[in-house]
């Protein structure tokens, strides 16, 4: 149940693909802080309220699509 590595990879890829790595780092830090704050504030209630399995699948799918688009763009295919 580790989500951090995929998010870090995606943030690094976006920073590498754009001309604004500082803004990408700021967005990644703010997003990570928001996720930690939500987990800390809601605790066990988060697991009861949200369909975590569906959220994990959705986030994984988005990460995969973003990685594919960035990779294909770098290779000049897209």
pTM for this predicted structure: 0.54
**How far apart are alpha carbons 63 and 56 in whole angstroms?**
10
Q: What is the mean pLDDT of residues 16-43?
A: 88
Whether 23 shows a pLDDT value over 80: the answer reads yes
With beta carbons less than 8 A apart as the criterion, state whether 7 and 28 touch. Answer: yes
Question: Long-range contacts of range 28-32, CB-CB < 8 Å, 24 or more positions apart?
Answer: 31/7, 32/4, 32/7
User: Mean pLDDT score of the chain, rounded to an integer?
Assistant: 85
- Residue 1, pLDDT score: 53
Phi, psi of 18 (to 5 degrees): -105, 170
Whether 67 shows a pLDDT value over 80: the answer reads yes
């Amino acid at each position: 149940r580790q989500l951090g590595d995929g998010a870090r990879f995606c943030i690094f890829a976006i920073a590498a693909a754009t001309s604004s790595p500082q803004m990408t780092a700021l967005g990644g830090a703010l997003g990570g802080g928001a996720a930690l704050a939500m987990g800390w504030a809601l605790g066990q209630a988060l697991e009861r309220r949200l369909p975590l399995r569906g959220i994990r699948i959705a986030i994984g799918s988005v990460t995969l699509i973003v990685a594919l688009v960035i990779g294909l763009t770098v290779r000049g295919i897209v």
